[in-house]
Amino acid sequence: MHQLNAGTLLHAALDAAARGWHVFPLRPGSKQPALHGADRCRNTGDCSDGHRKWEQRATTDPRRIVPCWETGAANVAIATGPSGLVVVDLDVAKEKGSSGTPDGVTFFLALCERAGQPWPDTYTVRTPSGGMHLYFTAPPGTHLTNTAGKLAPLVDTRAWGGYVVAAGSLIDSAAYEVTAPWRVAELPAWLRGALAETPKSGAPSAIAPPRNASRRAQVALERERAAIEAAPEGKREETLFKAARSMGRFVAWGDIARHVVEEAFQVAGEAAGLKAYECRSTLRSALNWSIRTARPREAQ
Ligand SMILES: [Zn+2]
């Protein structure tokens, strides 16, 4: 059986780094970053020139990795953006008992069939909850960011702004395991095309949302994202719900695209320790409610 073994996790971190993947520590047995947040920054070390978040602190340097893992049993995260990776994250449906409930694998298979493409042969990791991570290299010259449910239900992608838990990490003593040790394939053109498509706006707004979020919406998004990441246990779902509700009016006004809010908060919620499906359903219901009940801007 798997044991919480610091040596094994150090190995996992060094293995990932040897592949050129930028790693950072997660709290033992969890998916939450073990690094301090902006609110607790003391501007020392990595942060001497200002706070740096996990994406910037992730490293491939063994001299920085070894001290991080030799003292504890931190799980290993791979920051997908700097690693040049796009990881397709196939989640499982909430009710595990009912075998009829389609999961991310089923939806992704349907996506492949519709595109007339085979299931991609690439480095694959199975997650403890029964999900699957398909690793791809990001095509040169692209700057893809996270998506949540854009390709299909229960099919997310992690790129810039995201991370995945690396093989060898443990949740409730169940490991992330490599199930297909193939080399990492380049993101297939058909998937890249599907990710590049302009999303259909979820907002019932007559005005097309602007390409870039308004300054106020962007500031609000960052503030709410920080609140989600810093939420203590027992308050996380509530914080996520409130954050999504407060952003809904900006979506309704066309100040920010719904998928931008969903993708940012999905990652933040998971980083805070919520399950992927919990984040997804909380975000959906909070945004739906907020968009439906938003007042015109003048009335605010
Ligand atoms: Zn800092």
The whole-angstrom separation of Cα 33 and Cα 69 is 13
CA of 25 to the centre of ligand 1 (A): 15
* Cβ atoms of residues 224 and 290 within 8 Å: no
CA of 269 to the centre of ligand 1 (A): 20
Cβ atoms within 10 Å, residue 43: 10
| Count of structural domains within the chain | 2
What type of residue is 220? A
Q: Does the pLDDT of residue 209 top 70, yes or no?
A: no
Higher per-residue confidence, 97 vs 29: 29
| Tokens representing residue 157 in the block | 């992608």
Asked if residue 203 belongs to a domain, the reply is: no
Same domain, 138 and 166: yes
| Stated pTM of the model | 0.74
Q: Which residues contact 281 (CB under 8 A, 6 or more apart)?
A: 94
- Over residues 251-268, the pLDDT tens digits come to 988 888 898 899 889 989
In terms of Cα–Cα distance, which of 56, 251, 244 is closest to 161?
A: 56
Altogether, the residues listed in the chain come to a count of 300
Q: How much is the average pLDDT of 232-257? A: 90
Same domain, 34 and 137: yes
Q: How much is the average pLDDT of 216-223? A: 88
> What pLDDT was estimated at residue 292?
86
Q: Give the C-alpha distances (Å, rounded to integers) separating 209 from 10, 223, 252.
A: 46, 21, 9
CA of 82 to the centre of ligand 1 (A): 19
The whole-angstrom separation of Cα 99 and Cα 96 is 7
> What pLDDT was estimated at residue 206?
34
Could you tell me the residue range of the domain that residue 279 belongs to? 215-299
Same domain, 23 and 123: yes
CA of 26 to the centre of ligand 1 (A): 16
Same domain, 190 and 224: no
Residue 105 CA, chain-centre distance (Å), reads: 17
Same domain, 128 and 226: no
CA of 239 to the centre of ligand 1 (A): 23
Asked if residue 48 belongs to a domain, the reply is: yes
Final residue in a domain of this structure, among 141, 166, 196: 196
Q: Does the pLDDT of residue 16 top 90, yes or no?
A: yes
Same domain, 188 and 240: no
Same domain, 160 and 67: yes
Asked if residue 210 belongs to a domain, the reply is: no
Asked if residue 95 belongs to a domain, the reply is: yes
Q: If you average pLDDT over every residue of the chain, what do you get?
A: 87
Q: What percent of the chain stands above pLDDT 70?
A: 89
CA of 78 to the centre of ligand 1 (A): 19
Same domain, 283 and 191: no
Same domain, 140 and 18: yes
Higher per-residue confidence, 157 vs 201: 157
- Over residues 69-90, the pLDDT tens digits come to 987 789 999 999 999 999 999 9
